[in-house]
Structure 1
Amino acid sequence: MAADIREGLGRPFKEIPPKYFYDARGSELFDLITEQPEYYQTRAERSILNRYAPEIVARAGARELVELGSGSASKTRALLHAMAGAGTLRRYVPVDVSMTVVERCAEQLVELFPGLSVHGLVGDFERHLVHLPAGESRLFAFLGGTIGNLVRDERIAFLSSLSELLESGDRLLLGIDLVKDPAVIEAAYNDRAGVTASFNRNVLHAINLELDADFRPEDFDHVA
């Protein structure tokens, strides 16, 4: 983390890798973001999955669901229910940077789907995919437009590494937003409740905690 933060803040246009926004508190705030009326992406994707999950699962023939950037697994509940309904759900593999989030997700899903095997992986999906457990007939889900957090070179590297992991019978389900009026997108990241602003400032709290830094989050304005 220290090397990434040092490198990012040393650039002329300073930046912090998005993965560091998703500590336990950041993940909670992001879940709140998805509930804001301006944030259309989650509602649209969830509507599609609720409608087509059985068809997606049938076409994929999946026995395992691997979710990259799982959070609370709210994005893939429809897929899990469809796989359970078809009698094909054997294992769920959530990948997230927060151990707290992975553990909480596993506890909830084991209770919801008795007998489900959950193999959580705490790590960065850009670097730690090699640690995924071996499996067969896996459906990899990368939803929520998360690929948009990666710049071009990072996307190429990520997709290349993922292609090396996919085996015969595996499938990839990728969620990407379509072209929108800029005003619609800007509103989605400027919710009136200020949740996105709190989410973005929270990364400074995380850096202070993890690296003993001295950022004053209240001195930073959110602009999108």
Structure 2
Amino acid sequence: MATLSTGSRNDARKHALLRDYQLKTAQHTRLLDGRKYPCCGCNRSVGKDFYMFEATSRATKAHSFMYAGEDCAQTIIQFSASTSTPLVDLPYFDPLTGASRTSRGSGTRPGGSVAKWAPLNRELFYAINLTFLAMKLKPGSTLSKVLETITTNPSQVRPTTAPALNTIIERNLDSTHGSLTDYVNDLRVRNPTMKQYPFTLIRGALKNLSTPPIDYL
């Protein structure tokens, strides 16, 4: 998994990031025990709450991940508002409790709570977050596109989103894991109080397809 090193934490560097990379907000979540990410490539940890961005070099088109602590990420999102591609903020997701809250940021919508979302989209949002957290996806995966589809129209349920997520999980399994739940259970070793995620609605959506696929949730 490639991780972008962004050097200095000053504002000029953040503006340079937005100039040199196409960023996409992929996650706004809590740091789990056993994980550590550098904030914007510096030597400091992101802290308790952080964002993950997908970064595509405008020059080389190479894909990377960038992690930023809450304050640093909000600054980047705020600066992006004056560019041609403002960043979309995301609701915060706590994998330990399954709770979400409204982002305090100034990015474009949707940064609000998922409480009023369509129930299937809300469950898909949780599952996508857990997939990013638990599985070693490569930068530039189509998972962020599925997330974008859900967050752009959170009240609209699309029949393609559940099978798309299921396919992404299947294609990224390794020889020791047979499902997303297997990966999430690995996280429970260091985070034993983590909420159980049965993915009932997603599984139901897959079963209701004309040709139900193998369930990899």
TM-score in same-fold range (> 0.5): no
Richer in helix (by share): 1
Of structures 1 and 2, the one with the larger relative CO (CA 8 A, separation 6+) is 1
Normalising by structure 2, what TM-score? 0.31
Larger of the two Rg values belongs to structure: 1
TM-score, length-scaled by structure 1:
0.30
Structure (1/2) with the larger strand percentage: 2
